[in-house]
Amino acid sequence: MTQTSTNPGAAVERSPLYELLAIAIPTVATMTSFTLMTFVDKLMVSRIGPDPVYVGAQGNGGITSWIAVSIVFGALTVVNTFVSQNFGAGKAERAPAYAWNGVWLAVVAWIVLILPYAMILPWLYTLMRDKSLSPEAMAEVVRRDGMAATFAQILLVGSIITMTRQAIGQFFYGMHRPSIMLVAGVAGNITNFVLNSMLIYGPNGPADGPASGATGWIVHTWFSGASTLARSLHIPALGVTGAAIGTVIGTIVELLVLLAVFLSPKLNRQFATRSNWQPSLSHLKDIFRLGWAPGLMFGNEMICWGLFMVYFVGHFGAQHSTAGFIAHQWMSLSFMPSVGISVAVTAVVGKCMGMGRPDLAAQRARLGLALSMVYMGLCAVCFIVFRHWLVGIFIDPKTAPEVAAEVLRLGSTFLILCAVFQIFDAVAMTLSGALRGAGDTTYVGVVTVFSSWIVIVGGGWIAIKYFPQFESAGPWAAAATYIITLSAFIAARFLAGKWKSIRLVRDEAHPGPEPQATAGAVADGVL
């Protein structure tokens, strides 16, 4: 097996800001590109017609499909931890085995968890409906749920591609090569947009009339060409279903780009990426031992946010649901760069811990936190100042004026509430990434589960039962309280410093006994 010549001590010689930004900038761009795919889907779906039900269906389908996938996604984030720590310890040739076993974990989860969930999803939508709705409102909800279930099932069947991309992608993050992920993300987004232009609208094109100005001419020309091509290929207008198909194919393109690099002769010579592809019980145990808590955290948050969006906000009607998903889309787009910074912090902290330098790890974490807080603070300002425009671009011009006005009012209120917790979200995401890089994952997972059910679900239920006069703004206020509470718990854990004594890298050259934390970290690291 060829040994890597990478010098892990280079992190000491370079500027800390340069080292962090060299990973964070392409990682931020990559994370933004991932969210941009769903953003583009929602924006293009909103142009199917003046009925706002399409946006609600795409939003509901996206959240309910992501609930199951996010569990595996969260568990696979620790591939970054193991790869970066072995990289920092000068043992990068061990890293590909963690990526391969992440793929095997994804395959098992897809068969055991994802596909059965996809089968029962329509029944779950029926179960969550509010039986007290009027017949007219119930008919609208049933129509929305039918489109949402189809959208979600397509994404779930294609999720094996998404999860495999996650496992391989974490290898590149851990090896401090995030630019490869950026190239893959751009390729996937372009593919998604091109296919959406045909699959969503078919031969008819968007419902909007011709726009004015140079930009309007470009948009009109593009969609006219897409409509002509769809007509020649006999592609019907698939609506929300077309958006799901475009997303899956775009993700396939991303994975192909990553595999082309991962399995390339150059990387194989450096890190033996074509070896150790077989399932390894010791590596799977490593990933599960550290990954179950992030997986639980990711999945649980999606369940709680799903209940929040579909039930607590949707409880007040289709307009509240549509406005909620518009605000949620902007919230997702805003925090993805901070997620990118968090991923970069995980990689840098992991490398420093592998080098045996927890002091450097703490410095890099604080630097990442400062960057994230500045960025999220700017997002908060934009949410307040530009809230009407941010909501308005998702409202079809042909929507009934009274409906458009209500969606604009609600969405603007939700964005103000989102602005309240932006900086706190930066604290929670960045410091949880730092703890994950050190291998301290259980505390954050457990705290997230308890606080989300108590504050998001419990607070949302209290809001709609005892304070219905605030309508869906009540549950949104509970969500803001949750982010603030969670950030306080995670900051306290980081400042306590227990994570500095955790050691994950094995001393022996081949897999053996599980890597252990120090006695103090084991005693204090569970909770």
- Given a contact cutoff of 8 angstroms between Cβ atoms, the answer to whether 291 and 76 are in contact is yes
pLDDT tens figures, 33-46 = 767 777 778 778 87
Number of H helices, E strands in the chain: 22, 0
Confidence of residue 16 (pLDDT cuts 50, 70, 90): confident
C-alpha–C-alpha distance, residues 108 and 174, integer Å? 23
47 vs 485: which has the higher pLDDT: 485
pLDDT tens figures, 455-464 = 999 998 998 8
- Tokens 């004026």 correspond to 401
Least confident of 7-16, 20-29, 403-412: 7-16
Residue 64's CB is within 10 A of a number of other CB atoms, namely 27
* DSSP 8-state symbol, 3: P
49 vs 101: which has the higher pLDDT: 101
CA distances from 248 to 4, 154, 188, 206, 495 (A): 35, 8, 9, 21, 41
Q: What is the CA radius of gyration of the chain?
A: 23
Q: Which residues of 428-460 are buried (b: 16+ CB within 10 A; e: fewer)?
A: bbbbbbbbbbbbbbbbbbbbbbebbbebbbebb
Residue 3 lies in a domain: no
Residue 355 lies in a domain: yes
Residue 407 lies in a domain: yes
Q: What is the mean pLDDT of residues 220-248?
A: 86
Query: Containing domain of residue 321, as a range?
Result: 10-200+238-525
DSSP string, 200-213: TTTTS--SSPPPPH
Domain count, the chain: 1
Rounded to the nearest angstrom, the gap between the alpha carbon of residue 470 and the centroid of all alpha carbons in its chain is 29
Residue 220 lies in a domain: no
- Tokens 């108590």 correspond to 454
Rounded (5°) CA angle 1-170-24: 115
- Given a contact cutoff of 8 angstroms between Cβ atoms, the answer to whether 426 and 338 are in contact is yes
DSSP string, 349-395: HHHHHHTT-HHHHHHHHHHHHHHHHHHHHHHHHHHHHTHHHHHHTTS
Confidence of residue 215 (pLDDT cuts 50, 70, 90): low
Residues 6+ apart with CB under 8 A from 318: 52, 53, 56, 137, 140, 141, 144
Confidence of residue 1 (pLDDT cuts 50, 70, 90): very low
Residues 6+ apart with CB under 8 A from 456: 304, 305, 307, 308, 478, 479, 482
Q: Counting Cβ atoms within 10 Å, is residue 61 exposed (0-12), middle (13-18) or buried (19+)?
A: buried
C-alpha–C-alpha distance, residues 28 and 21, integer Å? 10
Q: What is the mean pLDDT of residues 427-446?
A: 93
Q: Does pLDDT of 350 surpass 90?
A: yes
What is the token pair recorded at 494? 């980081």
Residue 216 lies in a domain: no
Which of 326, 163, 319 has the alpha carbon at shortest distance from 255? Answer: 163
| Residue 22, pLDDT score | 81
Q: In this structure, which amino acid lies at residue 166?
A: Q
C-alpha–C-alpha distance, residues 239 and 244, integer Å? 9
Residue 207 lies in a domain: no
C-alpha–C-alpha distance, residues 511 and 514, integer Å? 8
Q: What percent of the chain has pLDDT over 70?
A: 90
C-alpha–C-alpha distance, residues 274 and 393, integer Å? 47
Q: Element (H or E) spanning 430, and its range?
A: helix 422-438
Half-sphere exposure of 145 (CA within 13 A, CB side): 19
- Given a contact cutoff of 8 angstroms between Cβ atoms, the answer to whether 381 and 61 are in contact is no
Residue 509 lies in a domain: yes
pLDDT tens figures, 370-404 = 999 999 999 999 999 999 999 988 887 777 788 88
| Residue 283, pLDDT score | 92
CA distances from 518 to 499, 515, 523, 525 (A): 10, 10, 9, 10
Q: Does pLDDT of 448 surpass 80?
A: yes
What is the token pair recorded at 179? 């630019």
367 vs 29: which has the higher pLDDT: 367
Q: Does pLDDT of 292 surpass 50?
A: yes
Percent helix, strand and coil across the chain, each to the nearest 5: 80, 0, 20
| Residue 211, pLDDT score | 53
Give, to the nearest 10 degrees, the angle between helix 53-76 and helix 115-128.
140
pLDDT tens figures, 157-188 = 999 999 999 999 999 999 989 889 889 988 99
Average pLDDT along the chain: 84
Least confident of 25-34, 54-63, 329-338, 394-403: 25-34
| Residue 216, pLDDT score | 64
| Residue 450, pLDDT score | 93
Residue 407's CB is within 10 A of a number of other CB atoms, namely 25
Which of 265, 213, 411, 415 has the alpha carbon at shortest distance from 334? Answer: 415
Residue 206 lies in a domain: no
